[in-house]
Structure formats: structure tokens, C-alpha cells
Structure 1
Amino acid sequence: MPAAAILVSLLSLSSVFALPTQSPGVAIPIQKRVSSTAVPGVADIASLKAQLIRLSSKYENNFAAYERNTGVPHPLAPSQARKQAAPTGLPLTDAQEVVWFGSISVGTPPKTFAIDFDTGSSDLFVPGSDCQNCGNHPRYDRSASSTSKDLKRPFTLQYGSGESDGDQVTDTVTVAGLTATGQTLGVATNYSSSFASSPTDGLMGLAYPSLSGFNATPTFNTLIAQKAVPAGVFSFLLAESGSELYLGGANKQRYTGDISWNKVTKEAYWQIAVASANVAGKAVVPGFEAIVDSGTTLIVGDTASVKKFWAQIPGAKEANDIQQGYFSFPCSNVPKDVSFTIGDKTILINPQWLNLGAVSQGSTQCVGGIVALDGVDFWILGDVLMRNAYVTFDFDNNRVGFATLAAA
């Protein structure tokens, strides 16, 4: 797909300007994975009950990895998480969650896997040949790859309801024709039953190296170091069709106008400052830190702020029967004027993505995509926000950019 990979110099916190052209990047088609049991128009309650537990586990393990790797706690880590020791952890995403996946290959000769691309973590894992409960997933056989090297380091994959074990190796990993040699990855020997039945085989983290549970260089950073990409930049387009992950820049065909840039405030997650969450043009939650996370379906915030947000929506109420933290609202009154101001750009949330569906079949109450999580003082901007903009992640200049989507 023709496109221009681009680099710019950061002039100020969140600025907009023209971009010089460089050699083209590479697009990976990605697909949306949803629950196979979901009823159209009805919220997948089983998934919603699990998502906050899974999300808490993911972030707890990432914070622990950051402290092991750097020797200091991450400033956003809750005080309780700072006190807890954790094994080398990598969260497994349950089959029920809505995530975005595409194909990569591992080894020599190459073996193809369907992979979730997650900006909220940093490691890569695939199922191994020794896995006895990995369903119909393809297996990576280290003995069959001439470029594999066993690091003789075990690891633990952490997720909401249990854990899975595996081993670390290095091997050749190819993403959309771009090859990283000597890449560290986890080879799983055990999967949860729900993940074993998922259409995706593993996960590739796209966050900073300091979050790596393996204390290793993430795949995209290896591509940068080995000069396999024209720029240390990648971009997401999340849509009902034509979704893509673009490596090496931003695909100009997918957005209009300029990219509005925001400096990463802590190089671990893709963490930025958000000016406000708005309802009807009014800032109801001013000034907070947020993490842009493609591996999270929802928008998640601290409990006090999210309650303040939903208090502005007529008929909204807590939906603790689903899971503490969720809110519902009358299906006849889906909020149409919710937005987030990030730097100098305001992103309007399409009501279609804010509405997760009816509480049950025939119910007049619908579940909202903005959710509260106890014990945090930051927000997580997942799929519900990312669908409304073209989102670019720039390692070269440590910033995240948002642009207006091109017409479909």
C-alpha cells in the first residue's frame, strides 16, 4: 500500500505542523476479534466481568516489571502494587475481549502466527510445541528452527484467573516483511482454556523496553535498532473494515490534516497528559495522565473521576450487577457529545463505540464504555477512544499523535 513514513521535530507540547516525507513504511492488515458468544446489540456480560480483573492484572505485572528493570517504582503505580513482588509476568488476553490482531512469522523456516498487537505491554509470546492444552493453535518448535537459541530462562504468563508457564528463546521474527534477528520471545507451554479456543495465537507488545517482563528489547525496538524500519514510528487505524498497523511512519491515506503531537510524560507506557474529558463541550474531568493502550477495549479511569463523568449523563447509573466500575444508561439516550481534549485536539467519541450494548436481551439499559477502576489515579485510553482518530506512536521523539480519520 503506497504511503509516506514521516518524521518531525517536536516544537512544543502537542503541536501541529507539516511533516517531511521519507521512505515508505509497511502496513499490516489487522482484524477485530470479538466474543463468539456475543449477541448482536447485547453487551457480552461474561467478557465485561473479566475485563477489569484482566486489566488490573496486566498493569500490576507491568508496574512490577518496570520496578525490576529500573530499580524504582513507576510513578503511576498504586502504593499497594509497589509493595508486592511479582514473578516475571506477561498478561494473557482472554478470548472474550475485543482486540486487534494480524500475522507474524517466527523461526527458520518461518512459522506463521496470528498475534494481538498491544501498546500497553512490551513482550512477545507464542504457543510452543510442548503445550498440551493450546487447542488448535500452531506451535513454535524451537528444535525445528535453525535460528532459535534457548535462553534457559523460564517465565510466568499472568492473567486474571490463573497463570501459565513457558521458556524464553531468541529467534528471527518477521512482521509484514520486516525481520528482527535475535529477538527474545516467550514460548508458552500452557494456555488457559479460553485462550486455547481464541482465534489469536499470542501477543506482541509495542510499549517501551522498561515494561518488558523478560527485561528484553521489544520486537519493534529491535526493528529500529537493526534499521529495518525507516523511522521508529508506528500507527494504528481501528475500524470496522480496513484496519491496519503501519510500521515505519504514518499512512497519509488514512488521515487528513496534520498530526497533533503530545509528549510522552514517562517512557514506559505510551503515557501522555490529557487536558480534559468533556460532556456537551464542558470539561467535567480536567487534567489527568492517561495511557494509550490498544490492548484494552475500554476507556478506564479512577473511580471518583468516572463517577463525576457519568453524573453528567441523564439516566446513567452504576451497574455493579455486571461488575463494580461499570455504568449503564438508557439505550434511548446514548451520549452523543462526549469528547476528550488532548493537547490542542478534541476527539469526539462516536456513540456507536461508547455503547457496549444492552445489559440483556430486551433491556432498555445499555452498558457504557467508560469504566471506573479502584486504586488508580490515571486513565487508560483503549479501543473506545482509539477508533475515533488515527493514532501514531513515535519512539524517535517520544510522543503520541492524533489525527482526523480520512473518509472511509
Structure 2
Amino acid sequence: MRFTLATSIVALAVLAVAAPQPTGQRIGMAIPITKRSSLVNADKSVDFDALKSHVAAGKAKIRQGFTTYEKNTGMKHPSDVGGVERRGAGEPLTDDQSQLWYGSISVGTPAQSFTVDFDTGSSDLFLPGSRCDSSCKGHTIWDPSSSSTSKDLGKSFSLAYGDKSTVSGEQYNDTVSIAGFSATTQTLGAANTYSSGFQSSQFPADGLMGMAFQSISSYGASPVFQTLVSDGSVSDPVFSFKLSSSGAELYIGGSNSALYAGDFTYSLVMHQGFWEVKMDNVKGNGETILTNVNAIIDTGATLIIGIPSDVSTLYNALGGTAAPSAGQGYYTFPCSSFPSISLTFGGKSFPIAASALNLGPVSSGSSDCVSGLVGQDTGSSFWTVGDVFLQGVYTAFDVGNTQVGFAKLA
């Protein structure tokens, strides 16, 4: 039996956290965000069906990004190596999109509030539309006809985010506001149907807001934050995340200095599309085991998903044990002695907290626990670095300089 574990829901109203500053200083605003997670059962053991579903969703999202990149640019994405493994017969998967960080935006004139999953691994915004069937029940519905600033673009869309998880509908332009900043003539989708993974019982947010680059937009349109920049709504072309069980927030127009300590360490984006950067190395128990690994930084991912051969090398060095009950690419360690693993960006190593790396026991009462760093073929030459790592750092996504910065949490 699968059980959904959700953190306490905090108020999702837009919150301004930056006081007025002298002219010339950059001013940002923040909104609180909440996590929904369901990778464990009621007894705290790992739900392998949900785990596999999450990996399947990540594979599908990357594949869609590669396909869209080629359509938009006329070139194959440099990190697209193809050959992604297909799901084997008899492998159980749940259509579950409930690994997400979500908060509030508003759309239209007059403005109407919605909750969205903030996803740096995709680039499009969609909401349940007024023509949506019963699959959108339980979500706040967006009716473009009720907004004086909406415009029907006469285009349809279809997005795939996981195993059989799709969203389809019509494209519109309208005003989208987040943390007090407004993007005018923003392209977004009004969904006519949600697959089960996006229904309210599985996906508590109303919709999803992609925060990667235009080259992987299925609409072929500027993502919301880039529109804010081009409209001149934000003076600092940076957005930042604190992904933590306490005080999580998305900061628009810079970074919140109260939430991190010291300086940022930056890595340049290698290929615009995803937020893809060079990871200098991966260390285990203080020793460098892997070097020169490409990685995308994805707030829409819970796990760290590595290239299978890399992950096998890492765990062979650390004494990890393959988890046959989960399938290829999943590993365990004694619950009481998880290894120390760190990822290095821009010459600085950032440790992964054992509490984040340890997903939970293999089964109820087991002394072996599952690692949140898994090896899977995603058809790419990069790793996907998600919440297992990101909840331990403060992360800045710098659109102006096309780089990602990490800092120690305060």
C-alpha cells in the first residue's frame, strides 16, 4: 500500500521579504514554498513503486527536453546520447508526480491566484483550463475568457512528464505575476485534460511553472522568469531557492542574504536548455572517485540520478550493495553507517547530508537503507541533481550570466 507523506502546508500567499533599499541597489522578493513528497510507505520504508515512477518521470522530462530542443534549434542537444532504457515488462510503476516544491502565482486581469510546481528542469507554464474535464477536479481552474488581458494563440500543446503522465490543451498569452513582479504577454497553457499523475490526489499544485531556458520550451516561448527580465520587471536577472524542510522559499530578482553564509561558488551553464553545468568531481568518504561529470540542476527532481557506470564505480569504491528488490541502479548501505558523499562545483565541495541521502529502510524493520543517489540511463550524458543535494545548499540561477551558484545555508 502506498502512503503519501506531506510536510506541513504553509501559507502560500505572496510574501514580500525585501525592504525598500536605496536607489541603485537591487531589490528582490520571495514567496514561501512547500514540499510534497511520497517516496516512503506508512512504516517509513521506501516505496519502490513511487521511486521508480519518479525516475521514469525524470527520464520522460529529459527526453521531451531533448526533442523540443532539436525542434526549436534544428540541432540535436549536445548532451543527447539516446539509447534510454525502456521500461521492462512486469516492472510496476505508479503514475505519480507528487515530488514537487510549490507556491503561489497569479494570472490574468483581474488577477487570480494559483499554486504551481517550480521546476528548473522544464520551461513551460500550464494551468487547468475552463474546458478541462473531470481530471482537473480539485484544482483551481483558470478561465481565460474571464481575463481582459488574455489572448488565444490558436495553438494546442501536449506535454509529457512521466510514465503516461501528460497534459494537453490550448496556448494563450496573459499577464503572469510572481512575488509582485509581472510578465506581460506571457505564453501559458490552459489544460483540457490532466492524466492521473496531475490530478489533485497526486499533485496538490494547480499547475507547473518551468524555469529552464526557451530552447526546451514546447511552446517555443520565453519562460516566465526570462519574460520578467526582458520586460524589465526585475533589475537582477537571478532567482534563488532554499529547498529545506523549514523556511523554504523561492526568491525572485536576486538572492536572500539572510538564508546563506559566505560567497557563492559559480559554475557556467554549458548548454542552454537545461541548467547544465560541470561538476568537478564526486567524493566519497573524502576521496575523489569521479571527475568531470556534467550535471543538470533540477528543482523538479527529488533524487540524484547518475549515469549507471559512474554510479557503479562510486558504490564499488564505497561498499554499496545493489538492491535487487528495487532493480538495477539502486543501492543500499547499513542504515547506521551511510557514507559521506560530496559534489564539487567551481572548485568547492558541498556535502550531501546523510539524512537526505538515506531515503529509508528497504523494508519495515530492515537494517539496510536505500540511497537517494541512483544509477539510471536517461539517454543523456549528464547527471540529474535534485533535492537530495539541493536541500543542503542555497542555489542561485543566474540568467544574466548563464551560471548556477551554490552557497552554504545560514
Q: Same fold (TM over 0.5)?
A: yes
1:106 corresponds to which letter in structure 2? V
Whether the 8 Å contact between 1:124 and 1:205 is mirrored in structure 2 is: yes
Alignment of 1:156 with 2:158, yes or no, is yes
The residue that corresponds to 1:24 in the other structure is: 27
Q: Secondary structure at the match of 1:272?
A: strand
The residue that corresponds to 1:14 in the other structure is: none
The residue that corresponds to 1:75 in the other structure is: 78
Alignment counterpart, residue 386 of structure 1, candidates 387, 390, 397: 390
2:68 corresponds to which letter in structure 1? A
Distance 2:39 2:265 in 1: 37
Distance 1:209 1:194, change over 3 A: closer
Distance 2:257 2:19 in 1: 6
Distance 1:114 1:36, change over 3 A: farther
Whether the 8 Å contact between 2:39 and 2:47 is mirrored in structure 1 is: no
Distance 1:177 1:3 in 2: 11
Alignment RMSD, CA only? Answer: 2.0
Distance 1:266 1:96, change over 3 A: closer
Distance 1:267 1:113 in 2: 28
Alignment counterpart, residue 199 of structure 1, candidates 195, 201, 204: 204
Distance 1:165 1:311, change over 3 A: same
Alignment counterpart, residue 214 of structure 1, candidates 219, 223, 226: 219
Distance 2:116 2:174 in 1: 16
2:138 corresponds to which letter in structure 1? N
1:80 to partner: Cα distance: 4.5
Aligned length: 379
Whether the 8 Å contact between 2:82 and 2:380 is mirrored in structure 1 is: no
Of the structure 1 ranges 34-43 and 232-241, higher mean CA displacement relative to structure 2 is found in: 34-43
Distance 1:59 1:165, change over 3 A: same
1:341 to partner: Cα distance: 1.2
The residue that corresponds to 1:367 in the other structure is: 370
1:111 to partner: Cα distance: 1.9
TM-score w.r.t. the length of structure 2 is 0.88
TM-score w.r.t. the length of structure 1 is 0.89
Distance 1:199 1:36, change over 3 A: farther
1:97 to partner: Cα distance: 3.7
Superposed counterparts of 1:103-114, under 5 Å: 103-114=104-115
1:290 to partner: Cα distance: 0.8
List structure 1 runs of 4+ shifted beyond 3 angstroms.
Answer: 1-6, 93-97
1:243 corresponds to which letter in structure 2? A
Q: Secondary structure at the match of 1:100?
A: strand
What runs of 5+ residues in structure 2 fail to find an aligned partner? 1-15, 85-93
Alignment of 1:264 with 2:269, yes or no, is yes
1:110 corresponds to which letter in structure 2? A
Alignment counterpart, residue 380 of structure 2, candidates 376, 394, 398: 376
Whether the 8 Å contact between 1:4 and 1:251 is mirrored in structure 2 is: no
Deviations 1:243-263 (A, max 9, x none): 011010011111111111111
Whether the 8 Å contact between 2:122 and 2:274 is mirrored in structure 1 is: yes
Deviations 1:336-377 (A, max 9, x none): x21111112110110010011112221222111101112432
Whether the 8 Å contact between 2:159 and 2:218 is mirrored in structure 1 is: no
Superposed counterparts of 1:271-286, under 5 Å: 271-286=276-291
